[in-house]
Structure 1
Amino acid sequence: MTAGPILRIEGLRTRFGGFAAVDGVDLDVPRGRTLGIVGESGCGKSVLSLSVMGLVPRPGRIAEGRVLLEGRDLLTLPPAAMRRVRGGEVAMIFQEPMTSLNPVHTVGAQIVEAMRAHEPKGQGSARDLRERAIAALRRVRIPSPERRFEEYPHQLSGGMRQRVMIAMALACAPRLLIADEPTTALDVTVQAQILDLLRELQAETGMSIILITHDLGVVAEMADEVAVMYAGRVVERAPAAALFEDPQHPYTIGLLGSVPRLDEERTRLLAIEGSVPPPFALPPGCRFAPRCPFVAEACRAEVPALRGIGPAHGVACLRAPVELAA
């Protein structure tokens, strides 16, 4: 298949016991482009990514929906087939490389293991796999890759470990890369290097990227399209330029207002009062209503659906766009 998005998520609902951490999410990931997913901690971003990968920890389960990779529903695949997809067609970079890498194996051995898992049986000698792993380390700009191949995770810096994770994720040439907070705990210089590296590798390979983050600066730099999540739902979705120029959901407006900007003079940054409600204690109606400065009585009674208000721009707010733009 060559037309349409590489990944389509339809009505995805992931439950933990009696509540949904991801609640009816619909998203498309364009081919060769980057979709940014943003929101505060606890809004469901990471659970969404784990649902796509089939890695939701117990007692979590995917209760409803479809995850279509080029038309094939990943949620219907048997475990063995899903293992072939995971890493081979869809790869993931996790938040903290020190806890994702095995501390008792060299980084080279871990990259080789990932490649061997997706090699046809009987193909790929140990020497060939080693050379390919070293080439993968070189590709992500790790100096002296032959030496780093033999080192353990604790011998590498945070930035180097993250590059190893990227090398491992790209070793089998996936068509889709999910990067869950790939620059967490990295200083700004290393963060810029990692983002530049992802951008270069995307241009080189044509892969699609889902970039999950709470850092709007990273989203502005990397994403072509953006989905804003709140309390398990997508509350706004738009091309990146449109979202930053004309945010429509009060939550998005609050997020952007909390970020300092060089092109504006502000005596005080905006703050969103309160916190994301836990999924077991959601308010009636709009889930953002208790924190919303624009709340009306109807907001507390009706659950807003995501509706189009412009080209490729959708928002789940009863008051958008007229009242908020006024």
Structure 2
Amino acid sequence: MQQELLRVEGLRTVFQTSSGLVRAVDGVDLSVARGRTLGIVGESGCGKSMLSLSIMRLVPQPGRTVDGKVLLEGRNLLDIPTGDMRQVRGGQIAMIFQEPMTSLNPVHTVGRQIVEAMKVHSPKDSAAALKEQAIAALKRVRIPSPERRFDEYPHQLSGGMRQRVMIAMALACRPRLLIADEPTTALDVTVQAQILDLLRELQAETGMSIILITHDLGVVAEMADDVAVMYAGKVVERTSARALFEDPQHPYTLGLLGSVPRLDEDRDRLLAIEGAVPPPFAFPDGCRFNPRCPFAIARCRTEMPPLRLVEDGHEVACHRAPIEKALAMESAA
């Protein structure tokens, strides 16, 4: 058994809008073990990024977390004072945001921005010591000529370099958990592979845990030990990465995997999930995936399925899971 670092229980984050109450994160449960990578996957708009912001207590107004717990080594981060939470951010949990060009300040050098992040957690260190540590952080993420890059501005760096700077900033204070929100978005495949390799190397070096948020199942297959699939603000399937790819159980997961080309299959057309993710202020009754689900039955349209154990270590929020068994029973009948 892996020792648990972070546990999220019943987390709910909502936004009050003119269109109604937006349930961006709606009763999410998940956990991250020490030294392991949890992949969170799903379509755009399913709540992945808002989940990460809720964990960090960075939900923008008018959003607010209304229920649940975020337990870091048993300590509920939702209950601690704001000043203590500032020490947690960066010191114990760090985050890489989606787009480094908008996350980095364009009017300050990258070195100054790394130093500012380190000052919060090392206020007694001298300016020279902080600069030395920042250059070492740049060197750790394989940025060439780190002494020169320290004095450059974000626009002078490539997309891959800016992402490395974000990683250096996140890891400067040696956090125990790194949340990486779409860390390879807008990067070409070569740079993407380099960034993923870098995260793996740094994880092996520091022993940190990673929450990897992505819509790319290839990245999940390469990086994740465990996977949580999100749809319409909820976790609909949770298991190991191996089990997810070998034996997916939720119809939504089946659709995601069916839409990805595979070298070991000869298919003229890829599968597609009909329809779109429902707006968060107008979720359907029952299972939120039921309007798009080819296996939906009457019960799916009226009753929300709970996340339940269908196999050892494999949880699914579906009335019909395991799907193959349900279809076989119907065929026999």
Question: TM-score, normalised to structure 2's length?
Answer: 0.96
Deviations 1:166-221 (A, max 9, x none): 00000000000000000000000000000000000000000000000000000000
Tell me how far apart the structure 2 counterparts of residues 302 and 61 of structure 1 sit (CA, whole Å): 27
Tell me the CA shift for residue 265 of structure 1.
Answer: 1.0
> How has the CA–CA distance of structure 1 residues 324 and 55 changed in structure 2, closer, same or farther, with 3 Å as cutoff?
farther
Question: Match for residue 166 of structure 1?
Answer: 167
Tell me how far apart the structure 2 counterparts of residues 201 and 325 of structure 1 sit (CA, whole Å): 46
Secondary structure in 1 matching 2:78: helix
Tell me the CA shift for residue 4 of structure 1.
Answer: 3.4
Indicate if the aligned counterparts of 2:287 and 2:305 stay in contact, CA closer than 8 A.
Answer: yes
Tell me how far apart the structure 2 counterparts of residues 280 and 4 of structure 1 sit (CA, whole Å): 37
Question: Match for residue 253 of structure 2?
Answer: 252
Question: Match for residue 83 of structure 1?
Answer: 86
> Which among 31, 35, 51 is matched to residue 34 of structure 2?
31
- For structure 2, which runs of at least 5 residues remain unmatched after alignment? none
Q: Which amino acid aligns with 2:274?
A: E
Secondary structure in 1 matching 2:4: coil
Question: Match for residue 71 of structure 2?
Answer: 68
Question: Match for residue 264 of structure 2?
Answer: 263
Deviations 1:79-102 (A, max 9, x none): 110000001100000000000000
Tell me how far apart the structure 2 counterparts of residues 104 and 205 of structure 1 sit (CA, whole Å): 31
Indicate if the aligned counterparts of 2:2 and 2:33 stay in contact, CA closer than 8 A.
Answer: no
Mapped pair 1:53 → 2:56: yes
Secondary structure in 1 matching 2:7: strand
The number of residue pairs the alignment matches comes to: 323
Q: Which amino acid aligns with 1:16?
A: F
Taking the TM superposition and a 5 Å limit, the aligned residue runs for 1:3-18 are: 4-17=3-16, 18=21
Moved over 6 A (4+): none
> How has the CA–CA distance of structure 1 residues 297 and 156 changed in structure 2, closer, same or farther, with 3 Å as cutoff?
same
- For structure 1, which runs of at least 5 residues remain unmatched after alignment? none
> How has the CA–CA distance of structure 1 residues 275 and 3 changed in structure 2, closer, same or farther, with 3 Å as cutoff?
closer
Secondary structure in 1 matching 2:38: strand
Question: Match for residue 214 of structure 2?
Answer: 213
Q: Which amino acid aligns with 1:159?
A: G
Tell me how far apart the structure 2 counterparts of residues 29 and 20 of structure 1 sit (CA, whole Å): 23
Tell me the CA shift for residue 324 of structure 1.
Answer: 5.3
Tell me how far apart the structure 1 counterparts of residues 326 and 148 of structure 2 sit (CA, whole Å): 61
> Which among 99, 108, 127 is matched to residue 96 of structure 1?
99
Tell me how far apart the structure 1 counterparts of residues 196 and 108 of structure 2 sit (CA, whole Å): 27
Question: Match for residue 23 of structure 2?
Answer: 20
Tell me how far apart the structure 2 counterparts of residues 97 and 297 of structure 1 sit (CA, whole Å): 46
Tell me how far apart the structure 2 counterparts of residues 106 and 237 of structure 1 sit (CA, whole Å): 41
Moved more, 261-270 or 156-165: 261-270
Report percent identity of matched pairs: 77
Tell me how far apart the structure 1 counterparts of residues 318 and 201 of structure 2 sit (CA, whole Å): 37
Tell me the CA shift for residue 325 of structure 1.
Answer: 7.2
Q: Which amino acid aligns with 1:10?
A: E
Mapped pair 1:175 → 2:176: yes
Tell me how far apart the structure 2 counterparts of residues 56 and 19 of structure 1 sit (CA, whole Å): 13
Question: Match for residue 107 of structure 1?
Answer: 110
Question: Match for residue 143 of structure 2?
Answer: 142
Tell me how far apart the structure 2 counterparts of residues 71 and 56 of structure 1 sit (CA, whole Å): 22
Mapped pair 1:307 → 2:323: no
Tell me how far apart the structure 2 counterparts of residues 239 and 9 of structure 1 sit (CA, whole Å): 17
Indicate if the aligned counterparts of 1:11 and 1:64 stay in contact, CA closer than 8 A.
Answer: yes
> How has the CA–CA distance of structure 1 residues 325 and 40 changed in structure 2, closer, same or farther, with 3 Å as cutoff?
farther
Tell me the CA shift for residue 311 of structure 1.
Answer: 1.4
Indicate if the aligned counterparts of 1:248 and 1:324 stay in contact, CA closer than 8 A.
Answer: no
Q: Which amino acid aligns with 1:56?
A: V
Question: TM-score, normalised to structure 1's length?
Answer: 0.98
Indicate if the aligned counterparts of 2:237 and 2:307 stay in contact, CA closer than 8 A.
Answer: yes
Tell me the CA shift for residue 19 of structure 1.
Answer: 2.8
Moved more, 168-177 or 265-274: 265-274
Tell me the CA shift for residue 323 of structure 1.
Answer: 1.7
Indicate if the aligned counterparts of 1:248 and 1:325 stay in contact, CA closer than 8 A.
Answer: no
Deviations 1:115-146 (A, max 9, x none): 01111x4x211111101100000000000000
> How has the CA–CA distance of structure 1 residues 13 and 127 changed in structure 2, closer, same or farther, with 3 Å as cutoff?
same
